[in-house]
Amino acid sequence: MTHAGNAVVTPDSEYAPTQGALGDATVSTDNARAAAEDSLEDYAFRYVPRTFRRWSAASVGATALGSIAFLADFSIGASIGIDHGTPNAVLGILFASVIILIVGVPVAYYAARYNLDLDLIARGSGFGYYGSIITTVIFAGFTCIFFALEGAIMAQGLQLATGMPLWIGYLISTVVVIPIVIYGMRALERLQFWTTPLWLALALLPLLWIVVSDPEAVRAFTSFTGNSDGSISFGAVVSSAAVCFALTPQLAEQIDYLRAMPPRTPSNARSWWTSFAFAGPGWVVFSGTKQVIGVFLAVYLLVRVEPGLGHHATEPVKQFVGMYQTLVPNWLAIVLAVVLIVVAQVKINVTNAYSGSLAWSNVFTRMAKHYPGRTIFVLFNLVIAYVLMMLDVFTLISFVLSLYANVVMAWLVTIATDIVINKRVLHISPRFPEFRRGMLHDWNPVGLVSVGLASVLSLLAFAGLLGAAVKPFSVLIAIGVAFVATPVMALATRGRYYLRRRSDGIDSPRFDEHGNPSGERLRCHVTGYTFERPDMLASAERGPRGEVQYVSSLALTLDDSDRYVLPPEVARPTHWATTRGRGA
């Protein structure tokens, strides 16, 4: 059996395409069926069905946590520690982590509960069917940038161990992930499961030994002033946090795993919530801890190992080699450091390449109404990342991430605010996530204006155009403007641009008795395959005897006409709390 799209393709005639079902479709039926039969397990523009979600909550959680092995955390922590000193850096990391956690809870919950990626959530959370393309491009850019940073770290390790030129190391770090990424979630789950214990042992055991055996190193860490005057400054704290905020899109990569969570029932509720907490919003706890460790390792190198190292102390290769050299012979220290770096780079960059390919394929398919296969977008994502490595993006890590953080926070705070305020408090946004074409307006000014306004104002501040005193606080401007503008725009538009229709024309409920998306299967009359109820709509085209036919969101995505789209409904009042279904 293969899982195709969210169709189930088996030799069983119940699920196989019906002969003659495709003859009158305006959709390119070969294209639609090819997308449905894609065995890459991507679900880039549709709901993840129950038939695919066979893992336990604990298994999904462990797999998702495996993706946070990235080494850029250590470099980010070291960079802000050297610039602002330990107290400011640690407070900045803590401040950013708390905000990211608050933003991440509602977004991750919607992903795990309703089995959708961040693009599908954004569609019904203020952006519209096509408007969410903007947010998806922002996320795709994140995967390229962080792939480049992690690939550069691996190349540095290979250069140290073998003398290999950096450009060859960049190439190796790029192509090594391709075989794993192509096979999707199953291959990623196995990789993350088997490599996580090795990564933890290599990274943490030597560090714990140094902390226990060398109290002077701990004292040097706590008193380190870096390039600052040693005082605690709110501006320095926020500047430190701004770099950390650029990591927030990691939430979207966690979501690409979380959307495979099993239905939440009374029997698995404890495991479900635990896995959600640690692998969803809780990823930032592990990330923040690694950033603090990065500060410690940089200070350890500068104070106890090689004082003249300067900003090279931000390189994880040198951090771990320096740590191992105090414990084992030099040759073994290099071997252990390279093993750690290669394992960590592969663990995170398969996720970067996987999530990036989903994002790019989502954007292209909706715009072109054509699905060329995810493999093309895996390669596209990797080419961009390789170019960034060749441009030496690693040496500009603080600047690039500080700049990027402004747009990132505008985007994610807008989605989180729509979920919490507009859906749950004001009841203007539809409470249950909607992503299907025909149910949504193409564009929603709520999210678009919020992200646009927050991004522009924060970038102007970042560039110093609003005054030198405001410049360090640009990311706070992005957060504050997005938080205020999202409900203001929803109230100003009275929610008119969220839903094009309130009924999808199907009588059966979208949710089961526990509030999970229904597992009922309906046949799509365009592709001929059966899809699960949450992914289906009634078709505007009646059957030969006047009966209601069903069409999948996949077929609608690839349709370059409105032949199957039900007409819009007359606008209703803005209170959406009575929307059908359960799912709290």
Confidence tier at 18 by pLDDT (50, 70, 90) = very low
Q: How many CB atoms lie within 10 A of CB 399?
A: 11
**Least confidently predicted of 68-77, 217-226, 511-520:** 68-77
What is the 3 state secondary structure string of 363-412?
HHHHHHCCCCCHHHHHHHHHHHHHHHHHCCHHHHHHHHHHHHHHHHHHHH
The arithmetic mean of pLDDT across residues 261-288, rounded, is: 91
Residue, of 181 and 520, whose pLDDT is higher: 520
**Least confidently predicted of 287-291, 400-404, 425-429, 569-573:** 569-573
**Least confidently predicted of 263-267, 301-305, 489-493:** 301-305
Instruction: Render pLDDT for 372-385 as a digit per residue (tens, 0 to 9).
Output: 777 888 889 899 99
Residue, of 581 and 260, whose pLDDT is higher: 260
The arithmetic mean of pLDDT across residues 429-453, rounded, is: 94
Instruction: Render pLDDT for 20-72 as a digit per residue (tens, 0 to 9).
Output: 344 444 445 555 555 555 434 456 667 888 888 888 888 888 777 766 777 78
Contacts 24+ apart (CB under 8 A), 540-546: 540/564, 540/565, 540/566, 540/567
How much of the chain, in percent, has pLDDT values that exceed 70? 87
Residue, of 104 and 579, whose pLDDT is higher: 104
pLDDT of residue 579: 42
Confidence tier at 289 by pLDDT (50, 70, 90) = very high
Alpha helices in 418-473 (DSSP H): 445-462
Instruction: Render pLDDT for 172-211 as a digit per residue (tens, 0 to 9).
Output: 988 888 876 666 555 555 666 666 777 777 778 888 888 8
pLDDT of residue 324: 86
Rounded to whole angstroms, the Cα distance separating 187 from 278 reads 22
**Least confidently predicted of 196-200, 531-535, 547-551:** 196-200
Rounded to whole angstroms, the Cα distance separating 2 from 520 reads 19
Residue, of 72 and 98, whose pLDDT is higher: 98
Residue, of 232 and 11, whose pLDDT is higher: 232
Average pLDDT, the chain: 83
pLDDT of residue 40: 41
CB 250 within 8 A of CB 287: yes
Amino acid at residue number 416: A
pLDDT of residue 206: 82
CA distances from 477 to 62, 97, 163 (A): 35, 17, 45
Record the tokens describing residue 425, joined without a space: 């408090």
Amino acid at residue number 507: D
* Residues shown for the chain: 584
**Least confidently predicted of 43-47, 264-268, 453-457, 494-498:** 43-47
pLDDT of residue 94: 96
Distance of CA 439 to the CA centre of its chain: 25
Closest CA to 540 of 530, 531, 548: 548
The arithmetic mean of pLDDT across residues 62-85, rounded, is: 83
Instruction: Render pLDDT for 304-352 as a digit per residue (tens, 0 to 9).
Output: 888 877 778 888 888 888 888 888 888 888 888 888 888 877 777 887 8
Closest CA to 221 of 298, 314, 308: 298
pLDDT of residue 524: 92
Rounded to whole angstroms, the Cα distance separating 459 from 403 reads 7
CB 148 within 8 A of CB 394: yes
User: What is the dihedral sign for C-alpha 353, 437, 135, 102?
Assistant: negative
CA distances from 209 to 73, 215, 308 (A): 21, 11, 24
Residue, of 325 and 550, whose pLDDT is higher: 550
pLDDT of residue 110: 94
pLDDT at 544 over 70: yes
The arithmetic mean of pLDDT across residues 285-298, rounded, is: 92
